[in-house]
Chain A
Amino acid sequence: MEKYTLPKADLPKFIKEMIGKNRVYAPVENDNVTLFKEINTPSNINLDFINSKIPPKSLLFQQTETLFKFIPGTKGKIDPPDLDDKKTVIFGIRPCDAKSFAILDHAFTGDFNDPYFINHRKNTTLVGMSCTKPGINCFCTSFNDSPAQSKYLDILLTDIGDKYYVEVTNEKGKQLAKDLKKHMQPAKESDTEKKKEIEKKAIKQITRNQKTEGITEKLDKIFENPFWKEVANKCVSCGTCTYLCPTCHCFDIQDESTLTKGARVRVWDTCMNPEYTLHASKFNPRPARTNRVRNRIYHKYNYYPKNFDIIACVGCGRCIDLCPVNIDIIDVVTKAGEVKL
């Protein structure tokens, strides 16, 4: 780990340096909503945000992505897929969203490698920004994570007053830092202490806690419990929780074509949609909201841990903030843990 400090006044130079050699995505404010957008100048960046409304997973696992193009019909042809190789930096990503990429790695690799995700991931360097003011529904600490942890980032910046404390965690980070070093000074012991202090303060501000201990085993025992009907009663199947979840990876594949050209595209899908599992025969294994809401929780807290030994939730709180009927995953999981057997 290399540690530096960067004077705040030099941040624009630092970012310009990155823009020169990379496509840079950064938090940009638009109509009171913060989103990760491609930037051409540092002045567009907004660092006064809790988190982006749409998670930056959308940059690696795109909402709509062309798998390949083709000439449609029964005499058709397929164009070889065109993979995007552009070097990319995601600047300002939060530690929780960076962790979501490590979670998604499991889904998109394994027996079959997903070349689209893997390619974006390989070409993307994560330059994170610690949370010093976590949101009201943040709960990354429930997974023993911290709003200022560098673990899943290549480079992490932490606001320590008049300067940023910069941690370069790995080879990828070092590669990018080569060009940035001229703007930075080696960190002093006092800077490191200051970062720790800021981190402690940030952790203290997180008031919500999800009880996740033993949850995977507990869920094994309560699949048929009426608890799930209660939880699902108010769900309106809008899918917001899943579309805006940084770890949800479900997708649909559709052919879009005119008479002469077409493309096979994949788009985000959601297990909250009844059509998601509907067979052509009209049989539906998950016909009710109870089935679907339960599937969402089980996928994150039981199936994913069983398959990959990690809970598929990072505690970003988006699904709580944005659910139109206030389904709260912290309460749901904590209460599931308390269901009497």
Chain B
Amino acid sequence: MKDNPYQPWLATIEEIREEVGGARPIKTFKIKFNDKNLQNNFSYIPGQCAMVSLLGEGECFFAISSSPTKKGFIEVSVMKLGKVTSALHECEPGDTIGVRGPYGNHFDVEGWKGKNLVFIGGGIGQAPLRSLINYVVDNRKNYGKLDIIYGARTSKDISYKQEFTELEKRKDVDVHLSIDVTEDGWDKYVGFVPNNLLELKPSPKNTIAITCGPPIMIKFVIQNLEKLGFSEDQIYTTLEMRMKCGIGKCGRCNIGNLYVCKDGPVFSHKQLKNIYGER
């Protein structure tokens, strides 16, 4: 970490992939730091985040959606919503951006070795889960059964389509995709993610469930996990808030006395149950 945590490193957008089009488009940006040494030494763990900026437009906090097992670059997946994300969506490969991080805590990839993992994602919430899924798949022998439950509004809104297709081909990973409303040609689950979860009935035995998505989805996913017998320390989620500094100073991302940027973004349900505060 450099002396001045507010000063980003310059980086270059190598590649831009359109994940989702339409009114709420999502793009994944493959980024390389301009300083080769830094690129080689930049290490992070799934769940961690980075502050990405476009000079003159501002900064935003994103989950790093790539896995550290894939070396030589980082990726962030960005939904076009506000000022900075709209400007990022206008960028082209070769453009210069600022990046600082990695920030926040991370998924317990060491502590979860030997356990079954159930990933439950919705919409853009898949970004941090994608980092973890790719990490776990690249270290496949260290983990038990893997279930990936993911849903989007329509088939067009599914992020990381290519990667889901690859994962579906594997015998050692079970992928369960869903869309909210019925569509011609869709032969998989139709309905909301929490319902799909309930019907799939993953066993809580020696299992960790990790969920990320819209707040309303997370709420019902957690309720349903509890119905399935998951205890509060078997359920993890990763949260987001409006953020400016990313380092626990600017104040706005607190839930009670914890800052999502610094003390999160990964929380166990047990932790969240025991702190009060708006989220």
Residues of B within 8 A of A73 (CB): 55-56
Q: How large is the interface on B (under 10, 10 to 19, 20 to 34, 35 or more residues)?
A: 35 or more
CB distance B247 to A111 under 8 Å? yes
What per-residue 1/0 map shows which CB atoms of A306-318 lie under 8 Å from chain B?
1100000000000
- How far, in angstroms, from A329 to B276 measured CA to CA in the complex? 22
In contact, B10 and A77 (Cβ under 8 angstroms): yes
User: Which stretch in A20-28, A95-103, A273-281 binds the other chain?
Assistant: A273-281
- Bound complex: CA A282 to CA B187 (Å): 34
Dominant SS among interface residues on chain A: mixed
For B279, the closest partner residue in chain A by CB is: A285
A257 and B262 in contact, given A81-B7, A277-B242, A302-B257 (Cβ under 8 angstroms): no
Q: A78 to B251, Cβ gap below 8 A?
A: no
Nearest residue (CB) in A for B250 is A251
Please classify the interface of chain B as helix (H, G, I), strand (E, B), loop, or mixed, using the class held by over half of its residues: loop
User: Closest CB of chain A to B27's CB: distance in Å?
Assistant: 15
Interface residues of A in 266-322 (CB under 8 A from B): 266, 269, 271, 276-281, 283, 285-286, 291, 295, 298-299, 302-304, 306-307
Q: Assuming the A-B contacts A107-B249, A255-B55, A278-B242, are A264 and B6 also in contact, with contact meaning beta carbons closer than 8 angstroms in the complex? A: yes
Contact of B10 among A68, A78, A250, A303 (CB under 8 A): A78
B248 touches A111 (CB 8 A): yes
Interface set, chain A 71-129, CB cutoff 8 A to B: 71-78, 80-81, 107-108, 110-115
Are A252 and B56 in contact, CB atoms less than 8 angstroms apart?
Answer: no
* A166 CA to B240 CA, complexed, in Å: 51
The verdict on B110 contacting chain A, using a C-beta distance below 8 Å, is: no
With a cutoff of 8 Å between Cβ atoms, the chain A residues found around residue B242 in the complex are 276-280
CB neighbors of A among B231-257 (8 A): 240-242, 244-245, 247-257
A160 to B259, CA, bound (A): 47
- A180 CA to B229 CA in the complex, in Å? 73
Measured CB to CB, the closest approach of chain B to A242, in angstroms, equals 10
Q: Verify A279–B241 contact, CB threshold 8 A.
A: yes
- A70 touches B (CB below 8 Å): yes
Q: Which residue of B lies closest to A303 (CB)?
A: B257
What's the tally of chain A residues with a CB closer than 8 Å to chain B? 55
Assembly CA distance A269 to B251 (angstroms): 9
User: Is A262 in the interface zone, CB < 8 Å from B?
Assistant: yes
A257 touching B248, Cβ below 8 Å: no
Report whether B10 and A115 are in contact in the complex, using a CB–CB cutoff of 8 Å: no
Chain A's closest residue to B257 (CB) is A303
The answer to whether B57 touches A255, judged by C-beta atoms less than 8 angstroms apart, is yes
- The reply to whether A253 and B250 contact each other, CB–CB distance below 8 Å, is yes
Q: Which of A167-224 contact B (CB under 8 A)?
A: 220, 223-224
Determine if B95 is an interface residue (Cβ-Cβ < 8 Å): yes
- Taking a contact as CB atoms under 8 Å apart, the answer to whether A112 and B98 are in contact is no
Closest to B87 in A: A74
- Name the 10 nearest CB pairs between A and B, nearest first: A72-B56, A250-B251, A280-B82, A74-B95, A76-B55, A303-B257, A280-B81, A112-B247, A257-B56, A285-B278
Q: Report B's interface with A, CB cutoff 8 A.
A: 1, 3-8, 10, 53-59, 81-82, 85, 91-92, 95-98, 215, 240-242, 244-245, 247-257, 262, 276-279
17 A-B pairs with CB atoms under 8 Å apart are A74-B54, A78-B55, A112-B247, A112-B248, A115-B4, A252-B250, A253-B58, A262-B55, A262-B56, A269-B251, A269-B252, A271-B251, A277-B278, A279-B242, A280-B81, A303-B256, A304-B257
Please list the residues of chain A having a beta carbon within 8 angstroms of any beta carbon in chain B.
67-68, 70-78, 80-81, 107-108, 110-115, 220, 223-224, 249-255, 257, 262, 264, 266, 269, 271, 276-281, 283, 285-286, 291, 295, 298-299, 302-304, 306-307
